[in-house]
């Protein structure tokens, strides 16, 4: 992990298209501004972690659930 010290108004550049600027330091909080292309996805860490967990959970199939879906598709085909 790279650790940098920055003052208000100072920033860092990531790649060719992302700039992070320190906007305000107040109490124990730091406000940052991020200048990046609109197509670049930027998440707070806790949100990103939740997205990863939900995607991982959604990809875990239970064989019982798959059997139920398979049975329901078979029944639908027989009705036609």
Q: Are residues 4 and 19 in the same domain?
A: yes
Contact yes or no for 30/53 (Cβ under 8 A)? no
Looking at residue 58, what is its pLDDT? 85
Q: Are residues 3 and 30 in the same domain?
A: yes
Q: What is the pTM of this model?
A: 0.66
CA dist 57 and 34 (Å) reads: 30
Rg over CA atoms, the chain: 23
- pLDDT tens column, 3-36: 999 999 999 999 999 999 999 999 999 999 999 9
Structure tokens at 44: 């707070």
Q: Are residues 34 and 49 in the same domain?
A: no
Contact yes or no for 21/36 (Cβ under 8 A)? no
- pLDDT tens column, 44-76: 999 999 999 999 988 887 788 778 888 888 765
Q: Are residues 32 and 59 in the same domain?
A: no
CA dist 23 and 17 (Å) reads: 19
State which residues form the domain around 49: 43-80
Looking at residue 75, what is its pLDDT? 62
Q: Are residues 71 and 49 in the same domain?
A: yes
**Would you call 7 helix, strand, or coil by DSSP?**
coil
Domain count for the chain, please give it. Answer: 2
């Amino acid at each position: 992990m790279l650790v940098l010290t920055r003052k208000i108004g100072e920033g860092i550049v990531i790649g060719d298209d992302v700039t992070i600027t320190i906007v305000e330091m107040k109490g124990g909080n730091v406000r940052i501004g991020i200048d990046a292309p609109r197509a670049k996805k930027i998440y707070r860490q806790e949100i990103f972690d939740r997205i990863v967990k939900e995607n991982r959970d959604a990809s875990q199939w239970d064989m019982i659930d798959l059997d139920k879906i398979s049975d329901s598709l078979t029944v639908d085909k027989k009705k036609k």
